[in-house]
Chain A
Amino acid sequence: MRRSDRSAARKTRWLTVLIGGVLAAGALITAFPFIWMLSASVKPQRESTDFPPSVLPHEPTLEYYRMLFTELDFGRYLVNTLAVVAIGMVGLVLMAMAGYAFAKFEFRGKRWMFFLVLATMMVPIQVTMIPTYLILNQMKLTNTLIGIALPTLVGGFSIFLFRQFMSTIPTEMLEAARLDGAGEWRTFWQIVLPMSKPILAVQIVLTFIAGWNSFLWPLIIASDQKLYTLSVGLSLLNQQLAVNPSLQMAAASVMVIPILIVFVVFQRFVIQGFALSGLK
């Protein structure tokens, strides 16, 4: 009996090692395109169009990164992208405020307003794309950074998450603050927001990633090259493929590396945020 137990345990251990190996191979395949990108971005052009290709560069160069910021306008695209991300953070505060109202106040119209919040989660972007463009055009906001950020500034799901989390804040704490003479606004900034740190962290990281990566709205709204974001500038390099893959991969790296850093540092929040989207 003992012996068969031990052999069974050994069998499961081997199985775990085997599965670990399979998963490691899968992880390598998943990550390979990024390794390829980084390696090609520091290859001289003739090496990156060589056949057969080499995995590692023979004469590494940072020439193409320099080119992006000197000959091309990627410095400006970077600033624009950061501006879009910053505007997104303002939206985050507005959503936190709305979540707070839904969680801690009773008011007329609350039920149907919250219904609207949930309903907007189901509307596909294809339906709102053209009307939103027409609306922004009416507001004279096409071709502005505000116009790029505005359509996605507020999302039903984030409001929902804020509401869920803020419902758990004890009402007595808010009452105590009010008795101490704190106004509603101060209560929100000094008590509600600090107590919502866990959900706030998740949402800040997700907002950053979404703003940094956003593509469709910058593409539609920005017709002036001065307002392009990194993603739009990058998509214009698409035609360059036959000519200069090194340049393209350098540009792709400029977009991907900051996100990888954010992911490594804030991995816990990213994963939590994704897992929460399973609640939807």
Chain B
Amino acid sequence: MRNRLSPYLFVTPAMLLLVTFGVFPIFVALAVSFTNMNISAFANIRNVKFVGVDNYVTLFGDADFWQALTNTGIFAAVGVPAVVVLSLAVALLLNRSDHPFFRALRSFYFIPAITAIVAISLIWGYLYNTQFGFLNYLLSLVGVEQVQWLSDPVLAKFSVALVAVWRGTGLNIIIFLAALQGVPKDYLEAASLDGAGEWRKTFSITVPLLRFAIFFVTVTTIISWGQFFDEPFVLTDGGPLGATTSVSIFLYKEGFRMNQFGYASAGSIVLFAIIAVITLVQLRARKADDDY
């Protein structure tokens, strides 16, 4: 008897938490997205009214939401290739030698990935400062006038994305390095005997063998840029003029500053759907690729 019950004793606490904070909220979000729920619900739950798909209709007519969607698209279009290419390149170079010097260098590239985003954003805010920032100082050495890194609407997008790229590469470098361990040495030696150069070996043998890692990193990077939040939140608070407002920032502001829980929930469901569709399309595309 004791034996049949014990697995449940082990599994229940974690499952309860997981269901309460991982599964149940999805249904709550879906339900709330069809209501006009806002802060007044805390005073009296009867203030909550079913409004059908009103929130979704308003959302698709909301210029701010479209701007946030467009911004997120731009962030992803710049950020995903940058992160994937950069982390693959650094991993390939780091993997070239087992020398202690190379091993020691690895650590430096990982540091941004494990340090607090708030601290990182403050540091970069200081580097970006128009009057006394280090970057404008560097530019002044070559005679460039003061640059408005974070207050020019076009440039601010890239400044914010740059911080996220700098921070995002570390984790992916580790994943690529782990995958590089799995590239058989004899393939590369055989290619050398056949007279293949470094360049050729890298692009004809190593990179194709990393196919799965590249695919994995691309998918997870797209997902994380779809949810882009921390850097613009701390660096620019979505400004100037909404130029760095990602969908996540839009949702946070609607939900927790305006307390429009129903409206923000509808937006979160739309974001979830977009990310899910993009991920499924990629998985499908990869399957088709595997058939050949």
Whether A and B are associated in the same complex: the answer reads yes
By a beta-carbon cutoff of 8 Å, the part of chain A in contact with chain B is 12, 15-16, 19-20, 22-24, 26-28, 30-31, 33-34, 36-37, 40, 48-53, 91, 94-95, 97-98, 100-102, 105-107, 110, 113, 116-117, 119-120, 122-135, 137, 150-154, 156, 159, 184, 188, 209, 212-213, 215-216, 220, 230-231, 234-235, 237-238, 241, 245, 248-249, 251-252, 255-256, 259-260, 263-264, 267, 270-271, 274-275, 277-278, 280
Given contacts A120-B18, A271-B174, A278-B179, contact A128 B29 (CB under 8 A): yes
Q: List 17 A-B contacts (CB under 8 A).
A: A19-B97, A24-B105, A33-B124, A49-B132, A120-B23, A123-B22, A125-B227, A135-B20, A231-B117, A241-B125, A245-B126, A249-B126, A251-B119, A252-B122, A252-B123, A277-B171, A277-B175
Given contacts A120-B23, A274-B175, contact A113 B11 (CB under 8 A): yes
For B4, the closest partner residue in chain A by CB is A107
Tell me if A280 and B220 are in contact (CB < 8 A): yes
Other-chain contact of A15, B24, B110, B198 (Cβ < 8 Å): B198
Tell me if A124 and B22 are in contact (CB < 8 A): no
CA distance A272 to B216 in the complex (A): 17
CA distance A12 to B112 in the complex (A): 31
For B223, the closest partner residue in chain A by CB is A124
- A269 CB → nearest B CB, Å: 11
Residues of chain B within 8 A (CB-CB) of A264 are: 107
Residues of chain B within 8 A (CB-CB) of A122 are: 276, 279
CA distance A270 to B106 in the complex (A): 12
Residues of chain A within 8 A (CB-CB) of B96 are: 16, 19
Tell me if B251 and A126 are in contact (CB < 8 A): yes
Tell me if A124 and B11 are in contact (CB < 8 A): no
What are the nearest 7 A-B pairs in CB distance?
A131-B28, A27-B108, A105-B7, A131-B25, A98-B14, A120-B22, A275-B178
Q: Which of B56-64, B264-272, B284-292 forms contacts with chain A?
A: B264-272
Given contacts A27-B108, A98-B11, contact A36 B116 (CB under 8 A): no
Given contacts A97-B14, A135-B25, contact A231 B256 (CB under 8 A): no
Dominant secondary structure at the B interface: helix
Residues of chain B within 8 A (CB-CB) of A28 are: 108
Q: B204 interface residue, CB < 8 Å from A? A: no
CA distance A20 to B104 in the complex (A): 11
CA distance A278 to B210 in the complex (A): 12
Tell me if B234 and A235 are in contact (CB < 8 A): yes
Tell me if B123 and A100 are in contact (CB < 8 A): no
For A40, the closest partner residue in chain B by CB is B126
Other-chain contact of A212, B8, B116, B120 (Cβ < 8 Å): B116
Residues of chain B within 8 A (CB-CB) of A98 are: 10-11, 13-15
Q: B134 interface residue, CB < 8 Å from A? A: yes
